Structure 1
Amino acid sequence: MVEGGSESQAWIDDEFAASRFSDVRLGRRLRQLVTQMAGAVGGPIPLACQDWANTKAAYRFLSNSEVVSHGVV
């Protein structure tokens, strides 16, 4: 988990407050994935996710056609 959990979670919530998905579960998954990735910055997704179920969920999220980035610099 990320150090300073509540502070990190507040930052994640602020950063992704404008993200909109057709299904609220995608927004929850995005926040969970960012939290996991923050715990393993620079590492591969399987390392950050720590188990097969979370790794598979991360790849499923990233390949979902409903998940698109707009205006990412």
Structure 2
Amino acid sequence: MTMNWAEEEMQTADLGDERLNVRVAKVLERLGAHPGSSIPAACRGWAETMAAYRFFDNEKATFETVLTPHRDATLQRMECCPVVLLVQDTTEFD
């Protein structure tokens, strides 16, 4: 079974509870697939939506604990590149 990008990046997630470590990958996969959508629109059904809200309501799910594995994976990918471009586009459509 192959892992998706969220599962792969979140392998090092340590939120102090294995269930939260699994949930963070699922939540990030859904939100990453639909970055402009609300949580209910990105999730697959009411149960998954409520699970996402419970995850974000958990005191162990802080900005740091959620972002650290992604930051670590990004830095690891950057190590093999002689040049890394950090491009930002602030274009908006209305």
Alignment of 1:34-45 (within 5 A): 34-45=28-39
Percent identity reads 30
* Large movers: runs of 4+ above 3 Å: none
Root mean square deviation of aligned Cα: 2.2
Q: Which residue in the other structure is 2:57 paired with?
A: 63
Structure with the greater alpha carbon radius of gyration? 2
Unaligned runs of 5+ in 1: 1-5
Q: Give the TM-score of the pair, scaled to structure 1.
A: 0.72
Q: Give the TM-score of the pair, scaled to structure 2.
A: 0.58
Task: Give 3-state SS (helix, strand or coil) of 1:16's partner.
Answer: helix
Unaligned runs of 5+ in 2: 72-94
Q: Which residue in the other structure is 1:12 paired with?
A: 6
